[in-house]
Chain A
Amino acid sequence: MGKVVGIDLGTTNSLVAYVRDDTPVVIRDASGDGLVPSVVSLDEQGTVFVGREAQRRLLTATGRTVYSVKRFMGRGIEDVRDDAEFLRFRVAGEAGGVVRITLGDRELTPPEISAFVLKELKHRAEEHFREQGEFDFEVDRAVITVPAYFNDAQRTATRDAGRLAGIEVLRIINEPTAASLAYGLDKRNRGTIAVYDLGGGTFDISILRVEDGVFQVLATNGDTHLGGDDIDRVLTELVLAEHAGTSTAGAGQPTLPAEALQAMRKAVIQAKWDLSEHERAEIVVEPAAGLPSGARRPITRQEFETLIRPIVDRTLGPVRAALADANLTPEDIDEVVLVGGSTRVPLVRRSVEELFHRTPHSELNPDEVVALGAAVQADILVSGRREMLLLDVTPLSLGIETMGGVVSKIIMRNSTVPASGRDAFTTGVDNQTAVEIHVLQGERELAADCRSLGRFRLRGIPPMPAGLPRVEVRFQIDANGILTVSARELRTGIEQQIEVKPSYGLTDEEVERMLIESFEHAEADFEARLLIDARNESEAVIAATEKSLRRPDFTALVGADLEPGELERIQAAVSAAKEAMRGDDRDAIHRRTHELNDVTRHLAEVMMNRGVREALAGKNISEIETVGSAAPPHVAGTVPGKR
């Protein structure tokens, strides 16, 4: 038996964690970075790149690189057209079938693309265990998290991705619930908790009651199409609109190459981060194909908040619905936990605080807390420890289509899983020998408005007058929230062997075939990986340096302490490091990174001293970032012990 890990397979970033000496820890790369960007890129030779390297290729190999693929999991082509158009992905697939995304000359399904991300995490974890001197370092099992509001097709697609990556998926658990496990809130006592999880592409709210170590989810709600991506989109559209206004002067639709759009996206994300810490920032778009001089656009936090308020307000509806389902009011909530990178946005925090009249928990890094919880759950499953138990719910009602296109619900939303339900139906026509059972998920009355999960036929019903047969349909949801359906005719006792054809999923045969095909994909070899590691480290140092230089109060803060020419030397070192990054010479990249580190050491000391002084003067120390350390600005250094 190999190692067991917990994986947060996110829209923007993914992480892997495990339990070491009773404490969950995130596995990091050499530069201390725990996040693996959920970006996948294929080069002309068929080599696969995942993570930071793939993210860099977004700017240079745009048509061969894909991100935010989680938005496409378990969905049909008709659901994703809008997204695909904005993200500039080329998608294919028949109506009512699984979507395929074009990457260079290949077409891949979302589970296949996610499997590349999972393989990268598996690889990262195995490297870590090998370095720890473990004899058995293979990672063969994992708990993977999904948004609580994911439907059955999306959960199944996630499980398929795990299989394709060669990982046995021990359990699919919900992200907000995982986060509550990581916080170890059971240790504190008993109480009612709200977990507000705004990630890159999804929003979840879960209401839990914790008592005697049992985490019982009372209600959950959310939106699987709401998150940081939407904030980026609003900002990109702002820049795009103004760019069009000046350069094409209203001459029809401006069409920028995908490379320019990616450069814009990168710039607005940076500005979004800056605005979480400062009152004003600037969107700085680097020159790219179709945008030779780049673009600059100053933006204040106030303007930013006006732009994104509609997005933040969209989270409040699901929050109220979840409270109503749990029969609670905001005053009944004892603790609020924030999860997901988008909860760093001050407007989001303020909105949550105003709603619950509570200061939310954010002690744990909101990017990491879900992976930590997944690791805890993985440990519970394999160790047999019983201090904690998760009791989760199914987010959406499940039922079948009956006469007139009406849905007959068999399991109601917010039922604790595992759950079962059954109902009896009959025929509508004399001598009918088969019934078609159409399985649906959703809250609406009409089948056409609900998500189709699959169809199957129960055959072999003996000919009888209409209304006489009694067909019992039985639903069983397992602890993963995944449904199985069986049906039998009660008068004859005939139970048909049924096979559900998933509407938006892969059949077992398809998964098997993909597993075989996947061996033909080459992964980046050892040398290539060393080069990627060097680039990652260099990028982290450049990012930290540029972050300091971009501070609006930079001159006021350190201007007086800098030596003549020091700033110019730093800027030159940044340019040199960037230049080296564009090449393939690993030693050159290393050299330039070390030079940049050396040349910024004095600046780091100055800022650090300032920080200490300001802290003593009652100022906020978190506003002082370190330069020269390799930690990227959004990664916390350590994770507090849980037990």
Chain B
Amino acid sequence: MTPDPIPVRHVPSVECRNCGAGAPVDEHFCPSCSRILALGRHGDYFAFLGLTRQLVIDQGDLDRRFRELSRQFHPDYYYNASPAERLASLERSSYLNDAYRALRNPVGRIEHLLAIEGLPPARSEEGTAKVPPALLESVFALNEELDEIRELRESGADPGQLRRRLDAARLPIEKRRTEHEAQLRDLSAQWDAGRDTSPDERKRILEALRERLLERNYITNLLASVDRETAGLGLGPGPDSSEAQSQTPRVESHG
């Protein structure tokens, strides 16, 4: 396994409950007696899957690691084992499933990276309550437009026309979202390339990633409010509503 250049939290080793030997925290099986190890205090999904903290990953490689480890840990294969090993298998399988779910999408990877690098979560209250400064102007414009549409609807305006206005109001926000995804990709590449840069520079990248994520969550909420208005017109689902639904940030595990 490649040594990690970033300081990890001080968790030197776990003790094998079977033979008492010590094992590095990232080992899954005891080096001495080869039994499955109880899950120690872990927190790093990347290390658990044998990956370095990279944001751009090969999806096929991640899937393959997940399947291989599943075959090693799954409770199906510990049916006749000792209670301690069965518990270890259950814990390791659960943890593996959580890790895979978090790392298999790009946003989940960034959120997990921020967490293990010690940044506050990007999905906190401030993500929805406080408008990110960069979005102030568009939020203001959208809210004004939505208020106006609401008034018009109550005074019995043509729903088809209002629908077209809503669709038009959606466009600039969708553009922002596309821009954001490009920025997240760009920052992710910078992080991956920046193994040798200064700690300050790395810190800057992480802060920037977090800012973008907070804005992204806000944008998702804005799109949802447009969708709600569209649905309120009673014309059936909007052209993008199903897509918007599948793009709402998935709640990741609480690792």
Contact = CB atoms under 8 A, between A and B. Distances in A.
A418 B94 contact: yes
A381 B78 CA distance: 8
Given A390-B76, A423-B254, A415 B70 contact: no
A211 B251 contact: no
A384 B70 contact: no
Interface in A416-435: 416-423
Interface string A241-281: 00000000000000000000000000000000000000000
B67 A214 contact: yes
Interface residues of B, number: 27
B97 A415 contact: yes
B67 A211 contact: yes
A178 interface: no
Nearest to A212: B67
Nearest to A216: B67
Contacts of A423: 254
Contacts of A171: 76
A479 interface: yes
Contacts of A87: none
* Most chain B CB inside 10 Å of its own CB: which residue of A211, A382, A418, A422: A418
A409 interface: yes
A420 B75 CA distance: 14
Interface string B46-74: 00000000000000000110010011001
Interface stretch (B16-24, B156-164, B212-220, B242-250): B242-250
Contacts of B97: 415-419
A389 B74 contact: yes
B90 A476 contact: yes
Nearest to B90: A418
Given A389-B71, A389-B74, A381 B79 contact: yes
B69 to A, nearest CB: 11
B92 to A, nearest CB: 9
A111 B54 CA distance: 51
A386 interface: yes
Contacts of A324: 242, 245-246
A608 interface: no
B188 interface: no
Interface residues on A, range: 20 to 34
Given A327-B246, A386-B77, A390-B76, A420 B95 contact: yes
A422 B251 CA distance: 12
Contacts of A391: 70, 74
* Most chain A CB inside 10 Å of its own CB: which residue of B64, B80, B251: B251
Contact of A479 (B67, B74, B245): B74
A490 B246 CA distance: 35
A419 B250 CA distance: 16
Nearest to B89: A418
A337 interface: no
A479 B70 contact: no
B66 to A, nearest CB: 8
A478 interface: yes
B94 A420 contact: yes
A92 B253 CA distance: 41
A479 B250 contact: no
Given A416-B101, A476-B90, A422 B245 contact: no
Contact of B93 (A327, A382, A418): A418
Interface string B203-235: 000000000000000000000000000000000
Interface string A402-418: 00000001101001111
B71 A412 contact: no
Q: For chain A, what secondary structure do more than half of its interface residues adopt (helix, strand, loop), or is it mixed?
A: strand
B67 A384 contact: no
Contacts of B63: 211
Nearest to A479: B75
A417 B93 CA distance: 8
A423 to B, nearest CB: 6
B45 interface: no
B117 interface: no
Nearest to A384: B77
Contacts of A214: 67, 70-71
A494 interface: no
A381 B79 CA distance: 6
A170 interface: yes
A240 interface: no
Contacts of B70: 214, 389, 391
A514 interface: no
B71 to A, nearest CB: 6
B27 interface: no
A214 B67 CA distance: 7
A380 interface: yes
A382 B79 CA distance: 7
B77 A418 contact: no
A192 B79 CA distance: 29
A145 B191 CA distance: 47
Interface in A163-177: 170-171
Nearest to A478: B90
Contacts of A390: 76
Contact of B101 (A384, A415, A418, A477): A415
A170 B75 contact: no
B250 A412 contact: yes
A168 B254 CA distance: 34
A416 B97 CA distance: 6
Contacts of A212: 64, 67
Contacts of B93: 418, 479
A123 B208 CA distance: 67
Nearest to B247: A327
B15 interface: no
Contacts of A421: 98, 253-254
A70 B252 CA distance: 34
A479 B64 CA distance: 21
A464 B134 CA distance: 41
Given A211-B63, A214-B67, A214-B71, A422 B254 contact: yes
Nearest to A390: B76
Contacts of B242: 324
Contacts of B94: 418-420, 476-477
Contact of B75 (A386, A410, A418): A418
Contacts of A327: 246
A381 B91 CA distance: 18
Contacts of A211: 63, 67
A389 B74 CA distance: 8
Given A214-B70, A324-B242, A390-B76, 19 more contacts: A171-B76, A211-B67, A216-B67, A324-B245, A327-B246, A384-B77, A389-B71, A389-B74, A389-B76, A415-B101, A416-B101, A417-B97, A418-B93, A419-B98, A421-B98, A421-B254, A422-B254, A478-B75, A478-B90
10 contacts: A380-B76, A386-B71, A389-B70, A410-B254, A415-B101, A418-B90, A421-B98, A421-B254, A422-B254, A476-B90
Q: Which 4 residue pairs across A and B have the least CB separation, nearest first? A: A420-B94, A416-B97, A418-B94, A479-B75
